[in-house]
């Protein structure tokens, strides 16, 4: 039974990595490369070198070549943490970029970035094109991370810097992205590369791209804030708990507490409700005890009866 569960989880995880890398590859290859908006990291560096080579070296090939030494460095410094899933993640992401662009070395595929729809976006709705690329990139990376994969690149650099010099991963990734975007801007400004928009505008779009994709990665990893957690402190906790169960059909947990100001023992209620139910909850508490102390927080993920079903 345990073996079957392990096999199921591996199939699920690798399927998620394949789907995530495909979305990421589409976002980069179809919407971002020809728009000259660089996402940072190894993919952004690969795009910059692709421009420098006048488009002669495919972006996906460069992504794979730049990631390979980082992958080997990561294994040497961090052990098996960057193992099979990292290799699969950055290899698939690189392959999908070239497949969608029609540049995959082994077989010919349609170049989706040359379709009429994408070309029309490039000429007449540049912002929406970058937004699409950002969303696909963020969703793709989020799925890869969600299913325990990684695309290598700056993630490996950040982990190594954290281990060796104690630097925070977020700071390292931010520095790498800033360097890559600036490097790409210099290449676009100094080389003979056809650019329809000012380089500074493209650079600002690149930072916008980072913001959108980073937000979506967090959403995929943490979930949407679809629920609320409420902590209720009241002298009438029993009445409030019964009303929550009767009127909302929700459970509540009573925690033992002691009020420091009055130095009395009392029960503190903890309950989880959906966003739609939070208004009714506050109304229930106010009707029973207008002087109750209520704390409400966003909850990103809830597993259990009445909410999301647990999966293996």
pLDDT digits (tens, 9 = 90+) for 225-278: 668 899 999 989 999 999 999 888 888 999 998 888 888 888 999 999 887 788
In a domain? residue 152: yes
In a domain? residue 60: yes
Structural domains of the chain, count: 2
Which residues, including other chains, have CB under 8 Å from residue 167's CB and lie 6 or more apart? Answer: 158, 161
Residues 261 and 197 in one domain: no
Q: What is the pLDDT of residue 225?
A: 60
User: Which DSSP letter does residue 223 get?
Assistant: -
Residues 166 and 214 in one domain: yes
Q: What is the CATH number of the domain that holds 242?
A: 3.30.70.120
In a domain? residue 307: no
Last residue of a domain, one of 184, 207, 222: 222
Q: Kind and range of the H or E element at 255?
A: strand 253-259
Residues 235 and 205 in one domain: no
Residues 215 and 233 in one domain: no
In a domain? residue 276: yes
CB-facing half-sphere around the CA of 258: CA atoms within 13 A: 3
Residues 48 and 181 in one domain: yes
The per-residue pLDDT for range 117-149, each reduced to its tens digit, is 999 999 999 999 999 999 999 999 888 888 878
Largest CA distance in the chain: 77
Do 109 and 102 touch, CB atoms closer than 8 A?
A: yes
Residues 218 and 257 in one domain: no
Provide the Cα torsion 85, 86, 87, 93; round to 10°.
100
- CA–chain centroid gap for 190, Å, is 33
16 vs 299 pLDDT, higher one: 16
In a domain? residue 99: yes
In a domain? residue 312: no
| C-alpha gyration radius of the chain | 25
Residues 132 and 273 in one domain: no
Residues 231 and 217 in one domain: no
Residues 86 and 201 in one domain: yes
Residues 93 and 214 in one domain: yes
Last residue of a domain, one of 222, 255, 273: 222
Residue 86 tokens, joined = 């990292």
Last residue of a domain, one of 222, 251, 284: 222
Residues 74 and 217 in one domain: yes
Residues 29 and 60 in one domain: yes
pTM: 0.78
What is the Cα–Cα distance from 206 to 112, expressed in whole angstroms?
Answer: 22
CB-facing half-sphere around the CA of 99: CA atoms within 13 A: 12
In a domain? residue 87: yes
The per-residue pLDDT for range 163-182, each reduced to its tens digit, is 788 777 667 888 888 899 98
Do 163 and 77 touch, CB atoms closer than 8 A?
A: yes
In a domain? residue 304: no
Is residue 111 pLDDT above 70, yes or no? yes
Phi, psi of 243 (to 5 degrees): -65, -40
Residue 120: give the domain boundaries.
2-222
């Amino acid at each position: 039974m345990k073996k079957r569960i392990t096999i199921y989880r591996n199939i699920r995880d690798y399927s998620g990595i394949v789907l995530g890398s495909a979305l990421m590859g589409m976002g980069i290859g179809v919407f971002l490369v020809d728009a000259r908006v660089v996402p940072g990291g190894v993919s952004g560096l690969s795009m910059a070198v692709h421009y420098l080579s006048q488009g002669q070296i495919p972006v996906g090939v460069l992504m794979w070549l730049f990631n390979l030494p980082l992958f080997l460095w990561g294994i040497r410094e961090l052990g098996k943490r960057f193992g099979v899933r990292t290799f699969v993640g950055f290899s698939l992401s690189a392959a999908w970029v070239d497949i969608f662009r029609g540049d995959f070395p082994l077989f010919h595929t349609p170049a989706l970035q040359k379709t009429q729809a994408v070309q029309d976006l490039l000429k007449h709705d540049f912002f929406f094109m970058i937004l699409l690329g950002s969303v696909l990139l963020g969703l793709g990376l989020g799925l890869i991370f969600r299913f325990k994969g990684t695309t290598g690149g700056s993630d490996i650099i950040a982990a190594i810097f954290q281990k060796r010099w104690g630097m925070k991963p977020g700071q390292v990734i931010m520095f790498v992205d800033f360097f890559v975007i600036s490097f790409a801007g210099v290449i676009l400004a100094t080389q003979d590369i056809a650019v329809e928009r000012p380089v500074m505008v493209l650079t600002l779009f690149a930072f916008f791209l980072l913001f959108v994709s980073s937000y979506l990665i967090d959403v995929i990893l943490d979930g949407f804030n679809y629920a609320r957690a409420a902590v209720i402190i009241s002298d009438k906790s029993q009445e409030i708990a019964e009303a929550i169960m009767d009127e909302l059909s929700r459970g509540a947990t009573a925690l033992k507490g002691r009020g420091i100001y009055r130095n009395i023992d009392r029960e503190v209620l903890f309950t989880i409700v959906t966003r739609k139910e939070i208004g009714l909850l506050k109304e229930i508490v106010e009707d029973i005890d207008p002087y109750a102390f209520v704390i409400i927080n966003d909850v990103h993920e809830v597993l259990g009866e009445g909410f999301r079903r647990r999966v293996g």
